[in-house]
Amino acid sequence: MNRRELLGAVGAGATGVAGLLGTRARSAGEDAGTITTGTTTTSAEEDGFTGIDSSADRPFATITVGSREGVQNPENNRPHVVRVWNDSQQARTVGLRLVRDDADAPVLDRRVEFPADGFLTVRLLEPADYALTVRPGGGGGSPGETPTATRTTAAAASVGETVRIPRAQFDCNRSRTDVAVTADGQVESGTATTEAGCPPEVTGRTFTALGGSCGSADDASVSFADESVTVAGSIRAPNPCYGAQLADVSVTSADTLRVVVETTEPDGGVCAQCVASVEYETNLAFRDRVPETVEVVHRRGGETETVATVSRGGWTTTAEGTVSGVGGVAVAEDDESNHRDRT
């Protein structure tokens, strides 16, 4: 047994999904990119596959692939469940081969004996792009039929049908892919998911701090792109030898991102005796969507200042009210009227 797998009996799979999109699975030799998944109930009805309808209350076994250790933002990257159903009144053998796009070898490759009308659950714990190839083997059909009467083609049995499970299915929603092997050896599939809006997830970050210079600027601007947010500003420091660093990036609510920039102590040496400003810029990349609001905070020692609260579309909130920025960028000027939150 692959050490990344665990086979055992468990309870029923995830429930409470919003809708199911049924598709006819492609053969392993066809273009996997043409396989579709989604949450549209009407499409499921049009394609004729509405999910597993087994008389069994629970799967006869569960295979767990991967580990939750090391998964970043686990609440925003939930496991994905795959259920494979023997839609037949006879027991049969089904080959299951699961490939992870970024892995050198299959993470699952085995033949499983399915009872009549039984289903098996595969739990994918690690977010990634996967392809599951299902190879119907012996058995199947209806009681009294001979094996040849099931019309399971040699191509389907040897090559199998492939179902894609994209990385996008691993988010804050609970999702499930159902795969059915029909009595005549055909493979059908569909994916269902809840439709809750997921909070923004930071997938990458860069930060650049320039040398300090005499001045008193202490402000920030925010610009929004389709998949990223850029914050540029100047943080006030005791003298030009101080630096700046990105101290914290956190999602404080469903649509608000808090960015904290703080000063760093100088390395030593002679420095000009003047109040200074250190310019900086940070770029934050997101998966799925960017936040609607960004709060920029400057930290110096024990003092914290909120220098800008900017909403997508170029709006910033200050103590005097809400004003618009220009071209999607809003700037909180260095003025005592700006909203400051000191701790």
**Given this model, what pLDDT does residue 138 score?**
65
Measured CA to CA, the distance from residue 150 to residue 137 in angstroms comes to 11
Q: What is the pLDDT of residue 198?
A: 74
Q: What is the pLDDT of residue 283?
A: 97
The pLDDT, as a whole number, for residue 195 is 66
Query: What's the sign of the alpha-carbon dihedral 330, 331, 335, 336?
Result: positive
Q: Let me know: does 125 contact 68? Beta carbons within 8 Å.
A: yes
pLDDT number for residue 108? 96
| pLDDT score of 314 | 57
Q: How far apart are CA 114 and CA 112, in angstroms?
A: 6
* Three-state secondary structure call for residue 135: strand
Q: Are strands 315-318 and 303-311 parallel, antiparallel or unpaired?
A: antiparallel
Q: What angle do CA 264, 252, 307 make, to 5 degrees?
A: 50
Model pLDDT, residue 217: 94
Task: Provide the pLDDT for residue 139.
Answer: 58
Can you give the pLDDT at residue 142? 52
Output the tens digit of pLDDT for each of the chain's 343 residues: 443 333 333 333 333 344 444 444 544 444 333 223 333 322 333 357 888 999 999 999 999 999 999 887 787 788 999 999 999 999 999 999 999 999 999 999 999 999 999 999 999 999 999 999 999 986 555 554 444 333 444 444 456 899 999 988 888 788 899 999 999 999 999 998 876 667 788 889 999 999 899 999 999 999 999 889 999 999 999 999 999 999 999 988 768 999 999 999 998 778 899 999 999 999 999 877 788 899 999 999 889 999 999 998 655 554 334 555 443 444 444 444 333 343 4
Amino acid 47: pLDDT: 55
- What's residue 73's pLDDT? 75
Q: Show me where the domains of the chain are located.
A: 5-193, 201-332
Cβ atoms within 10 Å of 271's Cβ, excluding its own: 15
DSSP H or E stretch at residue 47: helix 41-47
Question: How far apart, in Å, do the first and last CA atoms of the chain sit?
Answer: 56
Amino acid code (one letter) for 48: G
